[in-house]
Structure 1
């Protein structure tokens, strides 16, 4: 919605069918103008016996979408190459694994990651060749289930919830260590890289991030804390107040009477 207001072309791409999570309807409700799926993609190549469209093909779909548009774009891509099941994707793998519930399956997953690394590296190189200022935000939504209970128990709960995150700009080359953050903060981080104005809501998120960089239910990483906290009540009073404001806005928008819309909390200040 933020970029729709600024005349961006907004596109969601998901190289799979539209039945999962009712994506056809959900992306429209989220405000995306276009939705590209496995039936409408031009790039549908797969790696070896992997049944899913490859990351390489998905990235090419992004590049083709950018090339076909004359204006500014916001593209949200959810890839499928590294989704389970892993066992039958590749005939052989050069990666040796031990200590998991199924080492062969995990080895196949590592080959998935290798293909993904190559595709991402090539994608970034092509982004660097674009004339337009372009920002890439890359992250994983969750770890796979291949590691098993033994590996899980050898690691902390927060470690088993961590995934990679990269924000890359072909113009702004300034390095910044993001640390552990939650996905709700990606938008304000992106706008900082773009040196763009923020809304009142994003200003609230910046405040919340300065106190609570990462959290989900029963897992709260407060700034300068030595370990995760399991309850909101364990947080400082200031952090609890900011979190309560965030939750209240969520309630107002999804279930309440949408008072926050009347205050222009989400409006772009030109």
Structure 2
């Protein structure tokens, strides 16, 4: 009798594991699509095989947890808590960044306290209560049924743990054409190379997308890559550099100060479809743009991806030309490189300022590799500590006004020139700060939470005034200074707008390049460059800055100059058939086929150099930036 009852319980346990796997796979997909209708279509009609593969992996992971703990309901508690947190995290990332959880996001777990500040208290409370409830239920069940539940023998435990590990580890080379797992997944309809990582996660599920991005291939090798071809390219662009330099009087960058200001989430809401504000939130910056080199910057992110834009601005390399599995160059590429080629290399003194925690996006590791001698963050101590940390009302983040004051302090640290990077935080999500005197009113149907758009508008209005004050003070400094100022991406507020329909406009932010009075009066600056500036990309900032500063270029910067002048702006695409989004000066998307033969050759040159400097043999590295 007892034996029969035990078998029935064993069957129940096995059925419960399978049911849990189906339920978890379904919930994860809901966290991705936020639509029962769409999830049902994907999982039960269009992509059934991929759903079943997800379920199989979840079953093996469940059994592996069971084998490790060897207590069924304790293992169930771990399983449900883990995947509940995963689903909530994926839902939130989709809401704010339109991207699923990826392996690179795990690095943020070292900043748990800081991550929690980006989530509302209500969400945190609900998650905690759910975890307590789950744990309480399963612990109670374990105490009630513990004696009758299945316990594995050591050999069985080892086998189940190994199967769990294999279910994850087999995806290491899923993107390698010809591998067994690649053939199996391709036959199932899975592809990790759709233009939009969110689209991949919607049809294949967040779990398969996560596993498919564990191993990163930096970049596909362009045709014709060899040491001989790279030597030819260095010679080719040395000649181009000689031509450009005939009209550039300044030889030594160290005589000038170049400041890159990445203004967190800055993008004028007046350009966003279905948004109406009662007044302009950035009149000063609009005026600055009208009188100086300026335009729109094509971003490769929406609601996030700050460090990716920062990487492109520093290196001049195009994010869209990397492999789809390379989602974060800082954390997946730069931390493995030695002295990567970038603008910082050209200065004897370089300082990075970021009024937030230093290990976000591994900046504390990345910045020294890029060549920064000094990095000041909110957790820096002693002489590296930021002197200004004031915040706006109830905001969690240091104000732009305070960040600009620290930047001005750094400007005055050196009598000669230097490179300074400032990455601000004031307008970072979430947009819950209720300013006491907010004159902005949002009218429209682009956002689910209208008040947050009004809060955001007030925040960028503070940025608008602080930026004008900063430039006024820069004008009082008696040495040549040029400022490259740009918003990195739109805030993740306009969730009712279709990114498919408004793909270009919702990836366009504001930028300007400003040379101070001293630079203009002493032939170290140009006030306004109009050629090919209406729409650019972050990789275009180095050549534009050097042109603005009348600075001679290296062969590498000659290549970037030609790319900026002769090619449309480019970004990693969010929708459509192409992985690369090309946008002309009228903010209209164009296809690769529409490019001229000369433009296509220039892109090929660009890809060869990018591959050589990141994934290749570095044949050109010793020569191309000198």
Task: Quote the offset at 1:94 in angstroms.
Answer: 1.5
- Match runs of 1:100-249 below 5 Å: 100-150=447-497, 156-170=502-516, 171-172=519-520, 174-177=527-530, 178-217=533-572, 218-222=580-584, 227-230=588-591, 232-249=592-609
Cα contact 1:212–1:221 (8 A) shared by 2: no
Task: Quote the offset at 1:152 in angstroms.
Answer: 5.2
Task: Quote the offset at 1:242 in angstroms.
Answer: 0.9
Q: Matched residue of 1:122: which SS?
A: helix
- Whose relative contact order is higher, 1 or 2, with alpha carbons under 8 Å and at least 6 apart? 2
Cα contact 1:182–1:215 (8 A) shared by 2: yes
Cα contact 1:135–1:169 (8 A) shared by 2: yes
Cα contact 1:16–1:38 (8 A) shared by 2: yes
* Gapped regions of structure 1 (runs ≥ 5): none
Cα contact 1:50–1:90 (8 A) shared by 2: no
Pairs aligned (count): 262
**Pair 169,70 (structure 1): closer, same or farther in 2 beyond 3 Å:** same
CA distance in 2 between counterparts of 1:195 and 1:88 reads 42
Taking structure 1 as the reference length, the TM-score comes to 0.90
CA distance in 1 between counterparts of 2:346 and 2:503 reads 40
Alignment partner, residue 153 of structure 2: none
Q: Matched residue of 2:391: which SS?
A: coil
CA distance in 1 between counterparts of 2:495 and 2:398 reads 26
Q: Matched residue of 1:149: which SS?
A: coil
Cα contact 2:555–2:624 (8 A) shared by 1: yes
Cα contact 1:211–1:222 (8 A) shared by 2: no
Which of the pair has more CA radius of gyration? 2
Cα contact 2:448–2:495 (8 A) shared by 1: yes
**Pair 191,93 (structure 1): closer, same or farther in 2 beyond 3 Å:** same
**Pair 235,122 (structure 1): closer, same or farther in 2 beyond 3 Å:** same
Q: Matched residue of 2:431: which SS?
A: coil
Taking structure 2 as the reference length, the TM-score comes to 0.40
Task: Quote the offset at 1:150 in angstroms.
Answer: 3.0
Task: Quote the offset at 1:161 in angstroms.
Answer: 0.8
* Gapped regions of structure 2 (runs ≥ 5): 1-341, 380-384, 521-525, 573-579
Deviations 1:45-65 (A, max 9, x none): 111111100100000001011
RMSD of equivalent CA atoms: 2.0
Pick which of 209-218 and 250-259 moved more. 209-218
Structure having the higher helix fraction is: 2
The one of 423, 428, 431 equivalent to 1:86 is 431
Q: Matched residue of 1:68: which SS?
A: coil
